[in-house]
Amino acid sequence: MASGATSRQMKNGKTDWNSNGHLVSYTFPNANVCCCSCCLPFSCLSTFLEMSSQPHLDLVSALPEGGEYSTFSYADSWLQAAVTPGIENLNLMLHKKYNFPCSPFLSDGVRKSIRDLQLHTCVFRPTSELGPLRRLTSLDLNSVRITGDELECLLFNSLALERLDLKCCKEIIFQKIPCVLQQLSHLTVDDCYRLQVIECKAPNLSFMEYSGEKIILSLVHSLKMKRLNMHHPDVICYACAELPSIMPNLETLEIGSHIEVVNTPMLLTKFQYLKHLTIQIGVRAFPPPFDYFSLVSFVVSSPSLETLLLEAAQDGVNHESVFGSSSHLRQLPEHQHNCLKIVEIRGFSSAKSLVELTCCIVNNAASLERLTLDILRYPERCSGKANITCWPISNAALEDASRMVAAIKM
């Protein structure tokens, strides 16, 4: 809300105005449908807002969780009035039981102008009668009830699509992404917990993010993939066993897992072009502890690797400490790495396998410029103005910090 804003009633609805007399929001009577401050170009007409010539529209809804269906008609009327030819960006946050209508997109003028569509918390059932969305380049569905078949129908009508984001879409089980999406380069799928299969035939996909349960991933044109972020159980083992052969041209890889049943196997095929690698190992409260030394296979098999970030689990499982261990530190046969320049390990401890991994990197990375060992898993420990508010560090952690420095110098 702008400074100096005031509220007053107009035509039985609540309106908010700034100090310059410009309308910044309007709440429909009884419906609790409220435009956010991005809706400045609107003027009040009866019980809905009519859009002027502005191409951007953000709508935030406060429809009650109880599901008062009688209020949904106000949103229907508002959409019919606001979504007009010339609109380019449409960002709607609605209600989990609200059925977002296709009717605003039946206008040929709207289909020709809409570029960015974001739907949050609603039901969306697109059908073939929707027609082509000729200029739609970005589609973001968050907590939207839509099936895989319905989404595929929408995708077939969105030939200019460049980016697709799906989050918490719980009705999608098998998602097909058709080959007609020639421009699609970015795909994000996050926490669609019933999803089992992604089959992507888009020929120019180069960046994919996935987070959720382990799924079957089929990329017909995987040679174009340059950047991949994956977070699911056993993803580290999957990355070693599968990715070098199916995505050989990866340049940036981020993988994260809170459960790894087995330790990392040696890679049979190299990541020839991989330059940036992030590995996140989450909390696990059961034995056996993860063998961090097994991650050296990524370094050995990535000759172009320049940066490595490892977030180690602070898991409560008793790792064998490098201090008091009767066995020698494991080493690999001499393998000089000529590209690795920056290594950062967060959540570092005196766990023997973690010290072994670090020593192996130090001994073999001929171009190493910076090595950061942080006992904290998350570096954002301090916040506030000038980062003066910080979470305390325990005495045990500080003692372990001095021990880990001694361990590396051994």
What is residue 224's predicted lDDT score, i.e. its pLDDT? 94
Which phi and psi angles does 144 have, rounded to 5°?
-105, 130
> Is the link from the previous residue into 288 a cis peptide, with omega within 30 of 0?
yes
Look at residue 245 and tell me if it is in a domain. Answer: yes
Look at residue 366 and tell me if it is in a domain. Answer: yes
CA gap 138, 188 in Å, rounded: 11
Which residues, 6+ apart, have CB-to-CB distance to 15 below 8 Å? 7, 8, 9, 23, 25, 26, 27, 44
Whole-prediction pTM: 0.81
Look at residue 263 and tell me if it is in a domain. Answer: yes
Look at residue 36 and tell me if it is in a domain. Answer: no
Look at residue 385 and tell me if it is in a domain. Answer: yes
What percent helix, strand, coil does the chain show, rounded to 5?
20, 30, 50
What is residue 28's predicted lDDT score, i.e. its pLDDT? 42
User: Can you tell me which residue has the tokens 């059925």?
Assistant: 99
Domain span including residue 245: 234-410
Three-state secondary structure string covering 138-149: EEEEEEEECCHH
Task: Report which of 128, 113, 78 is spatially closest to residue 98, judged by C-alpha positions.
Answer: 78
Which residues, 6+ apart, have CB-to-CB distance to 372 below 8 Å? 343, 344, 345
- Read off the tokens for 181: 């999406």
CA gap 277, 289 in Å, rounded: 22
Give the three-class secondary structure for 13.
strand
CA dihedral 332, 337, 343, 347 (to 10 degrees): -10
Look at residue 322 and tell me if it is in a domain. Answer: yes
Which phi and psi angles does 129 have, rounded to 5°?
-70, -10
- Cα–Cα distance list, 113 to 129, 136, 344 (Å): 18, 8, 46
What is residue 314's predicted lDDT score, i.e. its pLDDT? 64
| DSSP code for 18 | -
CA gap 397, 346 in Å, rounded: 13
Look at residue 34 and tell me if it is in a domain. Answer: no
Domains of the chain: total: 1
Tens-level pLDDT at each residue, the chain (410 residues): 333 333 344 344 444 444 544 333 444 443 334 444 333 223 333 333 433 344 555 554 434 444 455 557 777 777 877 788 888 888 888 888 889 988 888 888 989 999 999 999 999 999 888 889 999 999 999 999 999 999 999 999 999 999 999 999 999 999 999 999 999 999 999 999 999 999 999 999 999 999 999 999 999 999 999 999 999 998 998 998 889 999 999 999 999 998 877 766 677 788 999 999 999 988 664 567 788 998 998 999 999 999 999 998 765 556 777 776 667 888 877 778 999 999 999 988 888 889 899 989 988 999 999 999 888 777 666 766 666 677 777 777 677 777 766 766 66
Give the three-class secondary structure for 61.
strand
CA gap 36, 54 in Å, rounded: 15
CA torsion sign for 349, 352, 353, 355 is: positive
Task: Report which of 282, 309, 297, 293 is spatially closest to residue 240, judged by C-alpha positions.
Answer: 297
The angle formed by the CA atoms of residues 63, 69 and 71, to the nearest 5 degrees, is: 55
- Read off the tokens for 290: 């993860």
What is residue 75's predicted lDDT score, i.e. its pLDDT? 74
Question: Would you tell me how many other CB atoms lie within 10 Å of the CB of residue 410?
Answer: 9
What is residue 381's predicted lDDT score, i.e. its pLDDT? 67
Look at residue 132 and tell me if it is in a domain. Answer: no
CA gap 178, 389 in Å, rounded: 50
- Read off the tokens for 72: 């949904």
